[in-house]
Amino acid sequence: MASVPQDHLEPVLLDHLRSFGTARVAMGIEVVGLDGRSDDVQVTLRDVETGETRIVHARYLIAADGARSTIRDALGIAMRGPGRLSQAIGTEFRAPLWDLLGGPRYCIYAVTHPDAAGVFVPAGRGDRWVYGVEHDLAQEPAPRLTKEQSARLIRLGIGLTDLEPRVDRIGTFTFAAQLADRWREGAAFLVGDAAHQITPRGGTGMNTAIQSAYDLGWKLAWVLRGWAGPQLLDTYEAERRPVAAHNVARSADPHGGARLAAHELPADLGGRIPHVWLPSRANAVSTLDLLGPGLTLFTTDPSASWQRAASSVPGPPLVVRNLDAITARGMGIPHGGALLARPDGAPAGWWPSRTEPDAALRHAIRALPTPSEAVDRSAEGASAR
């Protein structure tokens, strides 16, 4: 587990996005209007500084515009569930707490002092922290605190009367546990907080958002590349909604943040292939790093019969990964057997031996959600093998 503050994570995500030759990142541009039809979405954009507007047309639109999604409203999609469960005050401050706490370090420190109950969360390098205090809206709204009042509460919570925290920011936010009625309208898809609002309890809001974005991303890529029919996109909400619903319900539970990992892992990882480090000591490479944009076939078969079958079966691009015996053992692949995985690591087939690899692969690929009838045999597909 890692405690990564938003202002550390966002530059990493932005750099990654900018690394794609086909992606253009435009800051200071907001969506102010939408006219969506199933085969052409028309979006009105406004430059926040100049006020200039322009219209762009898109084959698909992903609404990742957060809890107050303009796009969701324009599509007429309602949210269901409690919108005001409680309120919390988050105070960002600096104070030398690590020396005080010693090791081992944790991601969250809960304080039960009756006058300062809350959580201290490390928020980046050095001694930067967030102190969060929840207020039950049925009792009272969260008070507006001055920096000095916040510092006093922090001293009380930490238990050091002479601590001099430097309070940088105080913010108030409302806990909501809601799901959008539907996540798709024609060619527009909701993702992240636009589709679900999850309270910070359990820390699953962004994690759910990123996993859902990944799910939608690979499915859109398959459809746009002709590797699957457009019905594949219907599986986005079908597969991701139960996870979001679970995390929304968990986060509405006042004790939802304290659940056992063993109970929550099925929702988080959902049968994904295991993470196993490959034996090379030079680079830390996981079996998860071997997943590609198409299908990935993991095997230990020295006879190359899976390799031969993989190069002849119709379907999306299929990369074969030959594993050493111990890594394969860690993934539950017996000698001569194989495991077929989707880009998100969900298994699409598992075979304990090399019995008829060709028939086995054809059957597994046919059973995928709506593989394209018209198989793309472009250079892109062929070179991935």
Ligand X SMILES: Cc1cc2nc3c(=O)[nH]c(=O)nc-3n(C[C@H](O)[C@H](O)[C@H](O)COP(=O)(O)OP(=O)(O)OC[C@H]3O[C@@H](n4cnc5c(N)ncnc54)[C@H](O)[C@@H]3O)c2cc1C
Segment holding 224, helix H or strand E? helix 205-224
Output 203 or 330, the one with its CB closest to ligand X. 203
137, 134, 154, 135: which is closest to 146 by C-alpha?
Answer: 154
Q: Is 173 near ligand X (CB under 6 A)?
A: yes
Q: Is 142 near ligand X (CB under 6 A)?
A: no
Task: Indicate the residue type of 194.
Answer: A
CB of 69 to ligand X, least distance (A): 7
CA atoms within a 13 Å half-sphere pointing along the CA-CB vector of 286 = 8
Question: Cα(30)–Cα(53) distance, rounded to whole angstroms?
Answer: 9
* Residues 88/132, Cβ–Cβ less than 8 Å: yes
CA-to-CA dists, residue 329 to 116, 269, 271, 298, angstroms: 50, 20, 17, 11
Site stretch for ligand X (CB under 6 A), options 77-85, 188-196, 323-331, 354-362: 188-196
CB of 31 to ligand X, least distance (A): 4
Output 61 or 320, the one with its CB closest to ligand X. 61
Q: Is 66 near ligand X (CB under 6 A)?
A: yes
Q: Is 36 near ligand X (CB under 6 A)?
A: no
- Written as six digits, the tokens of 92 are 């960002």
**φ/ψ (deg, to 5) at 307:** -60, -45
Task: Indicate the residue type of 80.
Answer: R
Question: Cα(213)–Cα(232) distance, rounded to whole angstroms?
Answer: 15
Output 66 or 96, the one with its CB closest to ligand X. 66
Bridge pairing between strands 118-122 and 178-180 = unpaired
Contacting residue, 62, 65, 119, 183, with ligand X by CB under 6 A: 65
| DSSP structural state of residue 210 | H
Measured from each CB, the residue nearest to ligand X is 192
Contacting residue, 193, 215, 237, 301, with ligand X by CB under 6 A: 193
| Of residues 199-228, those binding ligand X (CB under 6 A) | 200, 203-207, 209
| Of residues 218-277, those binding ligand X (CB under 6 A) | none
Determine if the peptide bond prior to 104 is cis (ω within 30°). Answer: yes
User: CB atoms < 10 A from the CB of 62, how many?
Assistant: 18
Q: Is 185 near ligand X (CB under 6 A)?
A: no
Return the bridge partners of 138, or none.
none
Please tell me the count of residues contacting ligand X according to CB under 6 A. Answer: 18
| Of residues 301-330, those binding ligand X (CB under 6 A) | none
Site stretch for ligand X (CB under 6 A), options 152-160, 189-197, 231-239, 315-323: 189-197
* Residues 190/180, Cβ–Cβ less than 8 Å: yes
Site stretch for ligand X (CB under 6 A), options 155-163, 186-194, 278-286, 288-296: 186-194
CB of 165 to ligand X, least distance (A): 18
CB of 321 to ligand X, least distance (A): 30
Output 66 or 352, the one with its CB closest to ligand X. 66
CB of 362 to ligand X, least distance (A): 39
Output the CA angle 53-58-61, nearest 5 degrees: 95
Question: Cα(138)–Cα(140) distance, rounded to whole angstroms?
Answer: 6
Output 108 or 348, the one with its CB closest to ligand X. 108
Site stretch for ligand X (CB under 6 A), options 197-205, 239-247, 268-276, 288-296: 197-205
Contacting residue, 30, 52, 136, 234, with ligand X by CB under 6 A: 30
- Written as six digits, the tokens of 134 are 């929840």
CB of 196 to ligand X, least distance (A): 8
CB of 65 to ligand X, least distance (A): 4
| Spatial CB neighbours of 343, under 8 Å, sequence gap ≥ 6 | 218, 291, 292, 293, 294, 295, 296
361, 285, 284: which is closest to 319 by C-alpha?
Answer: 361
Contacting residue, 5, 31, 142, 322, with ligand X by CB under 6 A: 31
Contacting residue, 42, 44, 70, 305, with ligand X by CB under 6 A: 70
Residues lying near ligand X in the complex (CB under 6 A): 30-31, 64-66, 70, 90, 173, 192-194, 200, 203-207, 209
